[in-house]
C-alpha cells in the first residue's frame, strides 16, 4: 500500500449521530453521540441533550476536537470523580476517533453501583452509542475528471473497478467524462495507468482536493 501523505494523514470520525442504552440495577444509561467540528458545536450538543433529559440525575460528557485531538474534555457531572467522564473519553480514545461529542445520561434506579459498576456502565453505554453512530475515515483526496473516447470506456471502467475507484458522475457527449475521487497518494499511479491503458488518449483534469469521508 502506498504511504499516506505525511502532511495530510487520515483520521477517524463518527459517521452520524447515534444512541445506545445500558441498564444496571434499574439505573438507565442513555448515550447520545454526535459529530462536531468545534468546541462550541460540542457544547451546544451537550446543552441540547441536557435539555432533552432535563429530569435525569446526571448528564456526563466527553468530547474530542481536532485532527490531532488538540482538545479533549470530560465531565463527571456529579458522579464520583473518574467514574463517568473519563471512561466515556477512554472509549473515544480507544476507537481513535475525533470531532465527536458524547453525553451519557443516567436515570438513577435507587441502588448504588459502586465505582467499578459506574465505570462499566458508562463505558458500555458510550460504546453502544459509538457503535450506533458508526465510524468513518477522513482521507485527503483528489477529485479528477477523465475524458475518453467511447472506444476506451470499457477498459477505463475495468481499470477503475480493479482499483476500487467509484465513478461519481458520468457524462456522454462527443466524448465520455467520468468524475472520480481518489486518495491523494494514488493519483500518480492512476494517471500513469490511465495513460498507458488508453495510449495517452485519456484527458485527465484535477478539479479539486480536500478531505472526504471514506466508509
Q: How many domains would you assign to the chain?
A: 2
| Domain presence at residue 5 | no
- Structure pTM? 0.81
Same domain, yes or no: 20 and 118? yes
pLDDT computed for residue 110 by the predictor: 80
| Domain presence at residue 24 | yes
Q: Identify the three-state secondary structure at position 149.
A: coil
| Domain presence at residue 81 | yes
Grouped pLDDT means (10 residues each) for the chain, 215 residues: 60 96 94 97 97 96 95 96 97 97 94 91 98 95 96 96 94 96 93 96 95 84
Same domain, yes or no: 147 and 125? no
Q: What is the pLDDT of residues 180-197, one digit of tens each?
A: 999 999 999 999 999 999
pLDDT computed for residue 2 by the predictor: 42
pLDDT computed for residue 76 by the predictor: 96
For 174, other C-beta atoms within 10 Å of its C-beta total 7
| Domain presence at residue 6 | no
C-alpha cell read off for 34 = 454526535
Q: Which of 87, 106, 133 is the last residue of a domain?
A: 133
Q: What is the average pLDDT value for the chain, to the nearest integer?
A: 94
Same domain, yes or no: 116 and 44? yes
Q: Which residue range is the domain that position 123 belongs to? A: 11-133
Put residue 131 in one of left, alpha, beta given phi > 0 → left and psi -120 to 50 → alpha. alpha
Amino acid at each position: 500500500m502506498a504511504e499516506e501523505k505525511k502532511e495530510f494523514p487520515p483520521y477517524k470520525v463518527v459517521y452520524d449521530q447515534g444512541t445506545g442504552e445500558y441498564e444496571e440495577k434499574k439505573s438507565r444509561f442513555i448515550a447520545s453521540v454526535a459529530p462536531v467540528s468545534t468546541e462550541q458545536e460540542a457544547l451546544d450538543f451537550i446543552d441540547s441533550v441536557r435539555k432533552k433529559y432535563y429530569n435525569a440525575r446526571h448528564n456526563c460528557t466527553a468530547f474530542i476536537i481536532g485532527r490531532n485531538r488538540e482538545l479533549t474534555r470530560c465531565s463527571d457531572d456529579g458522579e464520583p470523580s473518574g467514574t463517568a467522564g473519563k471512561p466515556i473519553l477512554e472509549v473515544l480514545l480507544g476507537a481513535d476517533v475525533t470531532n465527536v461529542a458524547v453525553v451519557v445520561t443516567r436515570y438513577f434506579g435507587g441502588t448504588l453501583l459502586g465505582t467499578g459498576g459506574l465505570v462499566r456502565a458508562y463505558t458500555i453505554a458510550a460504546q453502544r452509542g459509538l457503535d450506533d453512530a458508526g465510524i468513518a475515515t477522513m482521507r485527503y483526496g483528489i477529485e479528477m475528471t477523465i475524458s475518453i473516447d467511447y472506444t476506451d470506456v470499457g477498459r477505463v471502467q475495468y481499470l477503475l473497478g480493479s482499483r476500487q475507484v467509484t465513478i461519481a458522475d458520468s457524462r456522454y457527449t462527443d466524448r465520455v467524462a467520468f468524475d472520480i475521487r481518489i486518495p491523494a497518494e494514488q493519483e500518480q499511479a492512476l494517471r500513469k495507468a490511465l495513460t498507458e491503458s488508453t495510449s495517452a488518449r485519456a484527458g485527465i483534469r484535477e478539479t479539486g482536493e480536500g478531505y472526504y469521508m471514506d466508509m
